[in-house]
Structure 1
Amino acid sequence: MDETWQADLERWLAPFVVALRHKTRARMCPAYVAGLIGPGDRKSVQPMAARSSTVSYDQLHHFVASGVWDAAPLEAALLAEADRQVGGNDAWLIVDDTALPKKGGHSVGVAPQYASALGKNANCQTLVSLTLASGEVPVMVGLRLFLPESWTSNPARLDRAGVPDDHRAYRTKPEIALAEIDRVRTAGVRFGCVLADAGYGLSAPFRQALTARGLAWAVGIPFKQKVYPADVAMIFPVAGHGRPRKRHIPDAKSITAQAMLETARWRTVSWRRGTKGRLSARFAAVRVRVADGPPQRIRDMGAQHLPGEEVWVIGEHRSTGERKYYLSNLPANTPLKQLAGAIKARWVCEQAHQQLKEELGLDHFEGRSWIGLHRHALMTMIAYAFLQSRRLTQAAGGKKNPRPPATAKPSSRPAGNPKRARTTSAKFLHALQNGLLR
């Protein structure tokens, strides 16, 4: 590896090394991160150790899989660095998940489940991810394993995988995501809006929890999500016969998001320029009350959800014929172009997932334990943040961008062109790995 580059990595990792507070681990962390970034197709412990002249397999394996140390200080250092790079009121916090295909059933959390990357059910581990992004520059800040009920209901499997006591109860992916959002907010990371796909957006408790936290959000939903007109009123019907009515009911029926938008005005909106020109689709948006309030029997319709929060319901008609639907609690005066921009900003997390796997070996970890998997995932996120820091510096014209002291919170991100930083990422990594950068 190019010595100038390695020295740059050593300097950049200084706050992380300080957070470890241990001489040996202070050597292992840079070695592990360098192994993830460096050349070689396989980024598991054994091949990384074989390519290193400074650390052995036993040392690297102990560091990531069995050493007794707390990852929280490293996670805090990563959040501080991500906020420095892309944090701000215009940043997005993107919730998603990514699958790591696995053979066998011994690795922690592995089970037959839906793998979004494959578009089908597969034997895999699923990590709930949080990505902080500004424009088209993502920095991954959270990866937490989802444990299916086949694991949480089997104490012996949990014991063998070393799952901590406070992670053994079954939690849904939205519940894991909310815990991660709280962790990021507690660390003081700045962002303006939470984005998520329909896997999270269909959860009423998830949406309601974001609103209760005072957060702006835009999430995907199924086309059949029920909504009410924004002007729906609660009335007290007069009983024609039988017992007097005791509860108010809405004066309009709820209908699907798809039906609500059928008569809306659709417009072609472009949200950014892609490699083949401007990206555009037809959008429509209507203010509604989402049907996620308490369930109540309404006349002869049985139990129905009452009107909840007033939000936007948004539809997207793609050129392929595909139709997508979304909800957002962005203000009522938000222009359609801005709504579309928020919805389409989520794609950068998929780019981050791809780079973490293809370039940094997120899915290469061969251990079976909870702690090993999460430490490996943390190391890949740190490596990715370093690469993004270099890319932003390159996009700024090669000017050095000194890291502020760990105790000081910077007020702004590095200068540079985020689009250029994204489009040069693959070429930059290959050059980095081949020692072409000085």
Structure 2
Amino acid sequence: MASGKPGAVQSATFRQALSTRGLCWAVGIPRHQKVYPADVQLIFPVAGRGRPRVRHVPDVKSMAAHAMLEGAKWRQVSWRKGTKGQLTARFAAMRVRIADGAPQRIGSAGAQHMPGEEAWLVGEHRSNGERKYYLSNLPGDIPIKALAGAIKARWICEQAHQQLKEELGLDHFEGRSWTGLHRHALMSMMAYAFLQSRRLAQAGRKKKSPRSTSPTYIASSAPGHH
């Protein structure tokens, strides 16, 4: 599962390369990212004059992501439990075709991107009023809660990357070869995996150990026991 870094991922080439490799992805996008409805059709427009059209064009115009979700159904979704309780926000999701295909002149609209891959368009309304938008190529039958969880998994990836750099020297490589960089990254990740397994084991032991109060402390602090 590939997850986009903070901010917006505008690179169609990046998304398309992930899909070509059979990878699932979820990325943040700017609110003005253009999309088409999932049922957009390619048609031959009738030319009023001049030579007949030789290329298909979409039967509807693309629109900005935030505008596409204006009439969508929003619902409160909780994706996991945090240190202060359940993490929740309002989400809306709909299937779209991303406007990241080949550019083509479409009438008076000029050069426009043709419909590309079908994907989920997801909007998030946070409790502080902030609004975020995402695209994901996860399956069309996935529940919105699982979709939100996949999008929010980005935070875990960011934390792991930060710890790899700050604690295990992932960013300390000073070589010039791909092989050297690959080995350095691999050793850093192996060390991280080992430390993470120890952390999880330690957390498991703490959960299993019952809380007990020393009988000696109780006897010495109870009134009338001197």
Same fold, judged at TM 0.5 (above): yes
Paired residue for 2:142? 334
- The correspondence for 1:212, drawn from 14, 20, 26, is 20
Give 2:98's aligned residue: 290
Report how many aligned residue pairs link the two structures.
Answer: 206
8 Å CA contact retained: 2:99, 2:113: yes
Q: Structure 2 residue aligned with 1:309, among 101, 110, 117?
A: 117
* Residues in 2 aligned to 1:283 and 1:237: alpha-carbon distance in whole angstroms: 37
Q: Any idea what the Cα deviations from partners look like across 1:50-105, whole Å, max 9, x if unmatched?
A: xxxxxxxxxxxxxxxxxxxxxxxxxxxxxxxxxxxxxxxxxxxxxxxxxxxxxxxx
1:394 aligns with 2:205: no
1:300 partnered with 2:105: no
Other-structure match for 1:174: none
Which 4+ residue blocks in structure 1 deviate beyond 6 angstroms?
none
Task: Select the residue among 203, 206, 213 that pairs with 2:11.
Answer: 203
1:370 aligns to what?
176
What SS does the corresponding residue of 2:124 show, helix, strand or coil? strand
Q: Equivalent of 2:49, from 214, 225, 241?
A: 241
Note the C-alpha offset of 1:292.
1.1
TM-score, normalised via structure 1 length: 0.43
Higher relative contact order (CA 8 A, sep 6+): 1
Picking from 40, 48, 64, the partner of 1:256 is: 64
**Letter of the 1:345 counterpart:** A
After superposition, residues 15-30 of structure 1 pair within 5 angstroms as: none
Q: Secondary structure at the match of 1:352?
A: helix
Tell whether the 8 Å contact from 1:210 to 1:217 is kept in structure 2 after alignment.
yes
The letter for the 2-side match of 1:348 is I
Q: Secondary structure at the match of 1:201?
A: coil
Instruction: Compute the displacement of 1:274 (Å).
Output: 0.8
Whether the 8 Å contact between 2:5 and 2:158 is mirrored in structure 1 is no
Bigger-Rg structure (1/2):
2
**Which consecutive unaligned segments of at least 5 residues does structure 2 have?**
209-226
Partner-residue secondary structure (3-state), 2:127: coil
Q: 1:239 to 1:362 in 2, by over 3 A?
A: closer
Residue 226 of structure 1: aligned partner: 34
Q: Which has the higher helix share?
A: 1
Question: In angstroms, what is the RMSD of aligned CA positions?
Answer: 2.6
Write the distance in 1 (CA, Å) between the matches of 2:56 and 2:128: 44
Closer/same/farther in 2, CA of residues 251 and 386 from structure 1, 3 Å limit: same
1:379 and 1:362 mapped to 2: Cα distance?
A: 9
The answer on whether the counterparts of 1:200 and 1:206 sit within 8 Å (CA) in structure 2 is no
TM superposition shift of 1:362: 4.2
Letter in 2 for 1:289: R
Q: For residues 31-50 of structure 1, what are the structure 2 equivalents within 5 Å? A: none
Matching residue of 2:73: 265
